[in-house]
Structure 1
Amino acid sequence: MKFYTFGKNVVKLVLSPIYRVRTIGKENFPKEGGVLICSNHINNLDPPIVGITCPRDIHFMAKEELFHAPVLKEILPRVNVFPVKRGMSDREALRKGLSLLKEGEVLGLFPEGTRSKSGELGEGLGGAGFFALRSNAQVVPCAIIGPYKAFGQLRVVYGKPIDFTEHRENKISADEATKIIMEEIRVLISASK
């Protein structure tokens, strides 16, 4: 068993009962091909929560600083996490993300770039739009809903893939593409209230 699968099973065993994690819309998730998952970001546990609810293995970007921590620098690469320099255009991370999508892998992003302190959906950064436009990946909006309260209920909702074919042809900007994605996430959050 590869380390990712082992890690996913352990995390699922720990987090699922504590937060009573419920997955909605798993049937919307493409079974093959490159997929870009874009989710809201309300807690540090969001990446593992998306990871355990997603039907396929996910690759995540994480801030470079985490790769300097003694234990994390060993574990993160083994669970498909790669570094990104925040606050600047990190060409290497962008290339790595595009390459994964072109190889038919799943890339998970939190377009807001950082956690929302209020829990409200913030503005998305252009990176999500960049990946949506520059790859032929299917873009799946995702919403994490509910407080991270022990024995509360946390819902992870996967929406239907957003069709970016026309947007790619019309050569819209990365920021405009991100706005489309954020609106779909907003719709998922509103529909679940």
Structure 2
Amino acid sequence: MSFYGFARGVVDVIFTPIYRFKAIGTENVPKDGAVLLCANHIHNLDPIAVGVTTKRHIVFMAKEELFKVPILGNVVKHLQAFPVKRGKGDREALRMGLAALREGKVLGLFPEGTRSKTGEVGKGMAGAGFFALKTDAHVVPCAIVGPYKPFKRVKVVYGKPIDMQPLRERKASAEEVTELIMTHIKEILIQYK
């Protein structure tokens, strides 16, 4: 068993009984090939909620600060997450994200770049659109529906992949594509709130 599989099992046993994670639409996550999985961000536990509700290994882009936290930093590295410097164009993070997708992996992103304090979906950063346009990855929107309160259900809803072909063909901007992804996430959130 991989470290990721072991960690997911441990986390599932600890957190699922408390937050009663319920996955909806997991059939929308392709079983193989590159997937760009984009979710809203409402809590520190969002990567765990997404990680335990999908069968595939997700490579997360995570804020650089996490890698500096004792013990947690090593765990995050072993889960094959990679750091991103927030608030500036991080070429190394973009390169690593592209490499993961070109290897047929699932890249997990929270396009807002930070947690929403209101629970509303904020503006996404252009990185999500960049990855969607530069690869042939399936782009799957995901809505996490809280609240994260003990013994209250947290729903993780996976939407149908967004058809990126027309946007790729007309060379849409990364900002436009990110906006489209965020619109899909908002629509799922409205439907399942």
Query: In the alignment, which residue of structure 2 is the partner of 1:149?
Result: 149
Query: In the alignment, which residue of structure 1 is the partner of 2:86?
Result: 86
Taking structure 1 as the reference length, the TM-score comes to 0.98
Query: In the alignment, which residue of structure 1 is the partner of 2:128?
Result: 128
Aligned to 2:6, the other structure's residue is in SS state helix
Query: In the alignment, which residue of structure 2 is the partner of 1:167?
Result: 167
> How many percent identity over aligned positions?
59
Aligned to 1:37, the other structure's residue is in SS state strand
5 Å matches for 1:4-153? 4-153=4-153
Deviations 1:19-71 (A, max 9, x none): 11110001111011000000000000001110111120000011112212221
Aligned to 1:23, the other structure's residue is in SS state strand
Structure 2: gaps spanning 5 or more residues: none
Deviation at 1:16, TM superposition (A): 0.7
CA distance in structure 1 between the aligned counterparts of 2:70 and 2:20, rounded to whole angstroms = 31
Deviation at 1:2, TM superposition (A): 1.2
CA distance in structure 2 between the aligned counterparts of 1:70 and 1:189, rounded to whole angstroms = 34
Root-mean-square deviation (Å): 0.8
CA distance in structure 1 between the aligned counterparts of 2:22 and 2:67, rounded to whole angstroms = 30
In the alignment, residue 186 of structure 2 is paired with which amino acid? R
In the alignment, residue 85 of structure 2 is paired with which amino acid? K
CA distance in structure 1 between the aligned counterparts of 2:192 and 2:64, rounded to whole angstroms = 34
1:3 aligns with 2:7: no
In the alignment, residue 181 of structure 2 is paired with which amino acid? I
Taking structure 2 as the reference length, the TM-score comes to 0.98
Q: Name the count of aligned residue pairs.
A: 193
CA distance in structure 2 between the aligned counterparts of 1:19 and 1:66, rounded to whole angstroms = 23
